[in-house]
Chain A
Amino acid sequence: MKGGAAPAISAAEVRRLRIVIVLVVLAAWELVARSGLLYRDVVPALPTIARALYALLAGGEFYWHLGVTAGEVAAGMTIGGIGGLAVGLLLGANRFLSEAFERFLYYLGPTPKIIFFPIMIMWFGVGVSSKIAMGALSCFFPVALSTAAGMRQIDRVLIRVGHSFRANAWQMATKVYLPAMRHPVINGVRLGLGVAIIGTLLAETKLSNRGVGFLVIQAYSLFDMPRMYAMLIVLFVVAIGVNALVGRLGGLDAIKRP
């Protein structure tokens, strides 16, 4: 993207290889399903899954649950993202604070947040709020850490340029700091979005009566494997779509404004 010679591999070749890989996986799946080696519906045949997928998407119930989950993730992202951005800016700007606190973030960051779920239930109840709290908690860490790191990586001379033209604090923040650290911040948001989705879904599978996570675990306990796989496929597609969208935000930026 940033100049440099194009690699010798053609895009068409890569695409062909990808399609081959997908086809091989699907064929292997179908083979295992028909072999009867595994107990009943653990690996359902592809047409069965397709039928379940159709039934899922044709009914209205699934969309309502999907909406609940999406709402929870969005709320969690907003809260955790803004919190992470604020804390990251603070840590990036203040050496003392970062020396004192950043270590905690580093160690807490990769810890699976699901261990906090019982606490969240105590604080926020079994409803939607505890799921939002899980999403917020999950995405807070990557956003805060990459914002802090991004702020420290800013080219110092750009800050001096801003000061030399007598930019005030607000102008420095909006016209120098934030644009200069947009790549690490967008990356943090992307990572944060991933873990917020995981956190929310996981919380839904534990204790709830709505949301896609709840539907998945319900299908599982009824041993409706085709339906479960159908939902996983939808989740997979949605996650890819959302990720591509956030990536586009950062990616477009990189192409148009290198």
Chain B
Amino acid sequence: MAIAPEPAGRPDTAPAAQAPLLVVEDIVKRFATPDGELIAVDHVSFDVKPGEFVGVIGPSGCGKSTLFNIIGGLLDDYEGTVRVAGERVRGPHPAIGMIFQEESTFPWRSVIDNVAFPLEIAGMGRRERHERARHFVKLVGLDGFERRYPAQLSGGMRQRVSMARTLASEPKILLMDEPFASLDEQTRLLLGDKVLQIQQQLAQTTLLITHNITEAVQLADRILVMTYRPGRIKRVVDIALPRPRSSQIVSSEAFGRHVAQIWSDLREEASLGLQDEDSAYGRERRA
């Protein structure tokens, strides 16, 4: 797993002509809750081509993390199929690397040992895995912090450690679930730059889940806008902004148009979500 073969194709040939690397087909996920069945993900289908950066955006509670865990092979008991390079996913797939929404560094491991974790799991020797890990620590701009422990780092730095750790496993597909959700806007934009830079450098196929419109438009080639409960795909938006990009693109006019369009899509979904929460609150108060 450590040495991933070359990606099936590079984005220099037109992506549209290539076989998709990730195929998500007709996923339905239901949860049994005290108030009856809850459909978290409802017939979601899409695919991601090699080298492509796809964003999934939707209001809080629409099933994004559920979808993320299904694609990552951490949830079962769903309908539909997930395929990676034609192979059906059952359980965590070696070609997929996940970056989680929550704080996920191992507090008892130093930065370098956190990043080397997947290599250690794969059975690589100490010296070699540290050497490799050092490369990815540098890639996320944390050189000099190798021996620090997560508690000695800022939230943004810890998130970069998680990113380096997942990149160190050299996944063919990078899945990220709101990796910057807990960060302030400036850090978020700068980390977005880091992601762009890494993505362009590694031609990394990426699926980014977020509820931040700016972040999605800044980073993605294509954005899937999801509805609020049951989580369906409401619209697919192609982002025709030139690459390479940086956080400066945020101030361009085309960027503003995309953001406005997606926001109008999302506004009604988000307000549905709020109404839902209000009525749940009302129920609780009456009970």
Q: Give me the interface of A with B, judged by CB distance under 8 Å.
A: 2-3, 155, 157-158, 160-161, 163-167, 171, 175-176, 179-180, 182, 253, 256-258
Are A164 and B72 in contact, with the CB atoms below 8 A? yes
B182 to chain A, nearest CB (A): 13
Q: Specify which chain B residues have a CB less than 8 angstroms from the CB of A256 in the assembled complex.
A: 149
**Considering the chains assembled together, what is the distance between the CA atoms of A258 and B107 in angstroms?**
6
A57 to chain B, nearest CB (A): 41
CB-CB under 8 A for A165 and B169, given A2-B151, A3-B151, A175-B121: yes
Query: Which residue on B lies nearest to A1, using beta carbons?
Result: B151
Are A158 and B104 in contact, with the CB atoms below 8 A? yes
CB-CB under 8 A for A175 and B100, given A163-B92, A166-B94, A257-B149: no
**Considering the chains assembled together, what is the distance between the CA atoms of A70 and B102 in angstroms?**
46
B27 within 8 A of A: no
B59 within 8 A of A: no
**Considering the chains assembled together, what is the distance between the CA atoms of A165 and B107 in angstroms?**
17
Are B107 and A257 in contact, with the CB atoms below 8 A? yes
CB-CB under 8 A for A164 and B92, given A157-B102, A175-B121, A182-B108: yes
Are B106 and A160 in contact, with the CB atoms below 8 A? no
Most chain A beta-carbon contacts within 10 A, residue among B72, B94, B117: B117
Q: Give me the interface of B with A, judged by CB distance under 8 Å.
A: 1, 69, 72-74, 92, 94, 96-98, 100, 102-104, 106-110, 117-118, 120-121, 149-152, 169
**Considering the chains assembled together, what is the distance between the CA atoms of A253 and B107 in angstroms?**
11
Q: Specify which chain B residues have a CB less than 8 angstroms from the CB of A157 in the assembled complex.
A: 100, 102-104
Are B103 and A164 in contact, with the CB atoms below 8 A? no
Are A161 and B121 in contact, with the CB atoms below 8 A? no
Q: Specify which chain B residues have a CB less than 8 angstroms from the CB of A171 in the assembled complex.
A: 121
Query: Which residue on B lies nearest to A164, using beta carbons?
Result: B98
Query: Which residue on A lies nearest to B97, using beta carbons?
Result: A164
Query: Which residue on B lies nearest to A165, using beta carbons?
Result: B118
**Considering the chains assembled together, what is the distance between the CA atoms of A176 and B105 in angstroms?**
11
B153 to chain A, nearest CB (A): 10
Are A258 and B1 in contact, with the CB atoms below 8 A? no
A183 to chain B, nearest CB (A): 10
9 contacts between A and B (CB under 8 A): A160-B69, A160-B74, A163-B74, A164-B97, A165-B117, A179-B108, A180-B106, A257-B109, A257-B149
CB-CB under 8 A for A258 and B72, given A161-B104, A166-B121: no
Are A179 and B117 in contact, with the CB atoms below 8 A? no
**Considering the chains assembled together, what is the distance between the CA atoms of A176 and B118 in angstroms?**
12
B217 to chain A, nearest CB (A): 27
CB-CB under 8 A for A179 and B121, given A160-B100, A164-B98, A165-B169: no
Query: Which residue on B lies nearest to A179, using beta carbons?
Result: B108
Query: Which residue on B lies nearest to A156, using beta carbons?
Result: B102
A207 to chain B, nearest CB (A): 45
A187 to chain B, nearest CB (A): 15
When A and B form their complex, which 9 residue pairs have the shortest distance between CB atoms, in order from nearest? Answer: A258-B151, A157-B102, A165-B118, A164-B98, A179-B108, A257-B108, A157-B104, A167-B121, A165-B121
A201 to chain B, nearest CB (A): 35
Are A164 and B74 in contact, with the CB atoms below 8 A? yes
**Considering the chains assembled together, what is the distance between the CA atoms of A160 and B94 in angstroms?**
14
A147 to chain B, nearest CB (A): 17
B165 to chain A, nearest CB (A): 8
**Considering the chains assembled together, what is the distance between the CA atoms of A138 and B150 in angstroms?**
37
A178 to chain B, nearest CB (A): 10
